[in-house]
Structure 1
Amino acid sequence: MGQLDGKTALVTGGTSGIGLATAQRLAAEGAHVVITGRRQEALDAAVASIGKAATGVRSDVSEPEELDAVVDAIRARGNGLDVVFANAGGGEFAALPDITVEHFTSTFTTNVGGTLFTVQKVLPLLNKGASVILAGSTSASNGTPAFSVYAATKAAIRSFGRTWAAELASSGIRVNTVVPGPVETPGLVGLAPGNEQELLDGEAAKVPLGRVGRPEEIAAAVLFLASEQSSFMTGAELFVDGGSEQL
């Protein structure tokens, strides 16, 4: 018996890194997982890695109208939705003097707007007892130079988590935020093309456990928040950061 047998889950940005690891873990625990991604080839590969327990829907969360296809795919299954992991997002370094309108708008539209409209669009599909998990970041808690716009989006998501938890509590829907520290993903190493190992070593040096995380470790935390194991948790931040914001 899996922890999510018979459940339906949505993972946005599920084609690589934390999103893919989470989709694979939720499916291994019995859920049918709907995965979104912007690139069809990567989406097809992600679905193939899971098998018949996954459905792929090409969708860019920064384009709210593209989320309609995600809603249609979930509705077509006829079982509602039990787990949402609003994971899609990303960011780039930009020091204060270098921040452009395009950089600001793109990052907020994807991270904040994408999270907001994903949850809003699927809200009518959520079953009683559903769990919504938002993707936070330790960047919202610290002062990483040249990362202010990304950090601000994650602070907004933390606020969403608290407010939506209060709004949806009477409906029996829980909302929590998982907060990864540095994790070795394409998104992280992509911040320093050509200097990937230097970036990973620098991030590991900031972590009390002496290393960066693995996507599978974040997936395990998302599973906990998705399952009945966390049934008395809502509005919380779950840090999975090797102690970097705790010690």
Structure 2
Amino acid sequence: MKDNRMLNCLNPDLMKKSLSTILNTNTDNINKFIFSQRFRVRQEDIRWDYDTLDLNSILSFFNVTIEEIAFDSITVSHISAILDKESFFKHGMLSLKALFATENTFKSFLAEHGVTLEVKKENNLSIYVREKKMSTDYLDYRVEKDQCINGFMFGDDPEYNRNISNIKRCPEIVSHIGRELLRDSKLEDEWIKRSTPSIITLKVKINEIAPTTFPGAVVDDTGGRSHLILKAFERLLFLNTNYPSENPMIYLKETADINAECIFDIRKIKE
């Protein structure tokens, strides 16, 4: 998985090594910088204060310019209950549009329950239940505005995020189709029975990341690289000081798919 142009965020040690390569330094200096920034985090009883780390502090310490920080990809950890592990290594991970347009395990499973997915003219995505077109406000939004792949930036703890308790058992869209279109829980129950809650490690190109990933939905001249570098250093600082923090999400562009060679690993989530 070694790639000198990839920001590896799978765990703190790999992230330090990755940052040291990107910044043309060593892990000792990464550790020294983190230690020098500990003053930014303070705790008084149950209250935490954080004097926000800024990019200039990083650039100054390592004596680099933002233009010299050259990496073109990042690891992302995607949570899903999957039916066929090997299909990811053969076909990669597909956006919602690609799932509708190709033959795959997801479509086959739904077809077993009388649900078919089609891509109509002008790339409109349609759902049919026993040949009758059906939808809901949620499904309209998913097929029109929320087709993208997403995942967590940091790979050491995504399964503990409080927002994924349901999706690691069954994809939200599958649960919704069963509940709202089929009007029973059999679809979700069958998916849970046949699937494996998993963390899928992806390699994502920076230019495939959607602007909504970045603050203010604006990508700066670095294509978002400055934001990702800052978040990586913040993560190391927060771990070093026990500061409570969230694992930020990475959203891909709506039609971006992940090639099979960019699926690094799939591991089962421990119960």
Query: Which range, TM-score by smaller chain?
Result: under 0.3
Higher relative contact order (CA 8 A, sep 6+): 2
- State TM-score, norm by structure 2: 0.25
Of structures 1 and 2, the larger Rg is shown by 2
